Chains A and B, each alone.
Chain A
């Protein structure tokens, strides 16, 4: 993340700088990409990764959806006729 904060970089560049292998870098980037924290684009034959400024917004959107769905499910249960345990 720190390296990407300086400027966008390709996988090979990141692997050269970091004490981990290129496959490990790719795997790490995939997780970050799935989380919406980095984005990638093809530049010639390389794939360049950059930090996504929308990452925090993506986390927020994900949780917003989570709570919206949870509250609707909650409403269904809360409004059921009270069961025997009331």
Chain B
């Protein structure tokens, strides 16, 4: 295990579908396959919309009319690639500081006329931690997260 592996999640899957369909299903039906247990709203989500353009948002909408914008679309290149920010904190709340957001890149590669490899790379996970020391009410000190990361790196080195 390396430190790089610790701040990136990579997952891939091969689906029996054209690359166009693979892209369309991913970007238009995200709400239908997203695991439901991490709901950022207080009410059941009735739809999830990915606005299909750079600068768009991914929005969960609840039955009571409330909505939650939890990602920003950074790259939108149908049918091969989409990148969005992950504005969700480790406590599963919306992160309003873009500096403390990670990002997700999804690539769609045709492996045959009706076969597509879909890879997800969720990277820069360490960014979610950068603001934590500052959260403790103005205690300005760089001993918090950097020290924590150093300990984490030491742990990994020890485990090699």
Is this pair of chains taken from one and the same complex? yes
Q: Chain A: residues with CB nearer than 8 A to chain B?
A: 1-3, 5-6, 18-20, 31, 34-37, 51, 53-57, 59-60, 62-64, 66-79, 82, 86
Q: Chain B: residues with CB nearer than 8 A to chain A?
A: 6-9, 11-13, 15-17, 21-22, 25-26, 29, 32-35, 38, 90-91, 118, 120, 122, 125-126, 128-129, 132-133, 135-137, 139, 141, 143-145, 147-149, 151-152, 154-155
Contact at B126–A56, with CB atoms within 8 Å? yes
- Out of A37, A53, A72, which one reaches B13, CB within 8 Å? A72
Contact at B91–A34, with CB atoms within 8 Å? yes
| 5 contacting pairs across A/B (C-beta < 8 A) | A5-B147, A36-B90, A54-B155, A56-B7, A60-B125
Contact at A82–B21, with CB atoms within 8 Å? yes
- Out of B17, B38, B120, B154, which one reaches A79, CB within 8 Å? B17
Q: How far is B17's CA from A86's CA once the two chains are assembled, in angstroms? A: 12
Chain A residues within 8 Å of B141, by CB: 2
Query: Distance (Å) between the CB of B138 and the closest chain A CB?
Result: 9
Contact at A74–B13, with CB atoms within 8 Å? yes
Residue of chain A at shortest CB distance from B91: A35
Residue of chain A at shortest CB distance from B102: A63
Which 8 pairs, one residue from A and one from B, show the smallest C-beta to C-beta distance? A73-B33, A2-B144, A67-B11, A69-B35, A74-B33, A71-B13, A78-B15, A5-B144
- Out of A5, A69, A79, which one reaches B15, CB within 8 Å? A79
